[in-house]
Amino acid sequence: MRVLVLGSGAKDHAVAWWFSQSRFINGLFVAPGNLGTESIAVNLSSVDPSSPEQVYDACVAHSIDFVFVGTESPLFTGVIDYLNERGIATFGAPRKALKLEGDRRFAREFTHRYGIPTPSYYVFEDEKTFADFIERHPGKRFVIKRNALSPSRVMLNSDDPASLLAFARPLLVNDAILVEDYRIGMAVTLSVLMDNKGFLALPACSDYMKTGTGSTGLPTGGMGSICPVPLKDCVRNTIMDSIVLPTLHGLKTEGLAYKGVLTFSLIDTPEDGPILVDYHIRFNDPAAQAGIPLVKSDLVEILQAMQNDTLADFKLEISPQCSVAVVIASEGYPTSPMTGMTVADVPVVVRNNKLASTPRVFCGAVQHIDGKPITTGGRNITVVGVEDTIADANHKAYEIVHLIRFPGAWYRSDIGNKFFQQ
C-alpha cells in the first residue's frame, strides 16, 4: 500500500512512524512533513495539506492508495470529501461530521439529546450579555471556549471577572463563546476508531494542558501526556456506557457516522464521575504521541478492518507497558513563540526511532532549512518514554529531553509525577 499522511505536527510524525512499522507499506509520503518524517517517508514539502486540489494531484503523481488525515485543517477544507468523490480511500471525518468539533453549541445540544453528561453551559454572542452574566455570578469559576474550531484547544478557566471579559472580548468580535461551569477532576483523552458496525477504543491518555508545573500558568495545546490512565473498572465502564456508546448511537441516528477517529476529551470528576467536555474528530496532540507507541497491531490491518466494517472483531494488541510524553516548546509559547532557532544535533539512533530500547522522538515545528534543523513554531519535539511503569517511563523520557537543545527551549518537569508520587 502507498500511503500519504497529511500534516506536519508531532502527532502526524507519530502516525507516519506507525505506518512505517507496517509490513504492508511499499510507499510512505507526508505532506508537508517535518524534520522527523523525512527519515521514514518522502516529504512532499510543497504540497499544502489543506488544499484538496493539491492533495489530489499529489495522490495521482505518486500513485497513492490511501490518504490519512489526522489533523484538523485538511478536514475543515473538505479534503476528505474531495478525495472520496474521486475514488481515493481516506481516513478522516467528512464534512457532515465536522460540526461535532467545529460548532460547540451543536455538540452540546447533541449530548443533551442522547443523555451524555457534560458540564452546565451557556452560549453568548455579545459582550454586554456575557458581562451581565458574569456580574450575576461573583466569585464563580467558569471555562470559556470559542464556539467554533479552536485548533490549539486554548481556553481560559478563571473566577476573575476582568480576566474572563478580557479573554472573551476578542473572541466575540467574530464568533460566539461557550461558557461552562468549571469542574475539578482528572483529564482523560480517549480516541475511538469507528466503522459502520463497530469500534475500537485505543488506550486512554491524560494530557497536561498548562504551561506551569502543577498545571499552573497559561493554557496550551498540550505540554505532555501519560498512557494508559490508571482508571478503575467502574469508571471505564461508565465512560463506555454513558458517553461512548450513546455518542456512536447518536451519530448513526443523525446520519453523522463515518469511518475514522473520534476523540473524547473527558474529566473524571469526584462528584459525578466521567463527563464529556469536548469532541475532536481527529487525534489529539500530545495524546497521540503517548498512545501510538503502545499499540502493537499493524495500522494497515486496522484500517483494512475499518474499510471492511469488521473493527468490532479485530483483536487489538496493546503493550502492557506505560508511556510518558514530554513536549519541548519554544520560548514565548503559547502567546508569541520564537522561531528560527537551530536545534542541536541529536544522536541518529534516537532521532530516527530505530531502537525499541530508546524513547520515541516525534518532531513538530522543526524543519530542515538551508541544511539545518530550525524551529518553525511553538511546540517543537515530543519525547516519549516507554517502560513498565509510569515512573520508569518518566525517567526514560527526561533522560533524552535533556539532550534536545536549542535557544529558549523549555518543557514541564512534572509530566506523569502525580501518577506515581504520593
Instruction: Give the global pTM.
Output: 0.95
- Residues 96, 257: contact at Cβ < 8 Å? no
DSSP strand pairing (379-387 vs 372-375): unpaired
User: For the sheet containing 260-269, what is the strand order?
Assistant: 199-201, 186-194, 260-269, 273-280
Taking domain 120-181, whether its CATH number is 3.30.1490.20 is answered by yes
DSSP 337-354: ----PBPPP--HHHHTT-
Give the Å distances, CA to CA, from 77 to 82, 347, 354, 375.
9, 38, 35, 26
List the chain domain ranges: 2-94, 120-181, 186-313, 322-419
Instruction: Centre a 10 Å sphere on the Cβ of residue 196 and count the other Cβ atoms it contains.
Output: 12
Side chain identity at residue 99, one-letter code: K
DSSP strand pairing (27-32 vs 2-7): parallel
The CATH homologous superfamily of the domain defined by 322-419:
Phosphoribosylglycinamide synthetase, C-terminal domain (3.90.600.10)
pLDDT of the chain along its 422 residues, tens only? Answer: 999 999 999 999 999 999 999 999 999 999 999 999 999 999 999 999 999 999 999 999 999 999 999 788 899 999 999 999 999 999 999 999 999 999 999 999 999 999 999 999 999 999 999 999 999 999 999 999 999 876 556 688 999 999 999 999 999 998 999 999 999 999 999 999 999 999 999 999 999 999 999 889 988 999 999 999 999 999 999 999 999 999 999 999 999 999 999 999 999 999 999 999 999 999 999 999 999 999 999 999 999 999 999 999 999 999 999 999 999 999 999 999 999 999 998 766 666 777 677 899 999 999 999 989 999 999 999 999 999 999 999 999 999 998 899 999 999 999 999 998 75
CATH architecture, range 2-94: 3-Layer(aba) Sandwich (3.40)
CA nearest neighbour of 170 among 130, 222, 216? 130
Residue found under cell 478563571? 158
Distance CA 26, CA 42 (A): 12
DSSP 136-196: TSTT--EEEEESB--TT---EEES-HHHHHHHHHHHHHHS-EEEEE---SEEEEEEEEE-S
Give the Å distances, CA to CA, from 15 to 202, 208, 210, 286, 312.
14, 21, 24, 12, 22
The topology (CATH level 3) of 186-313 is D-amino Acid Aminotransferase; Chain A, domain 1 (3.30.470)
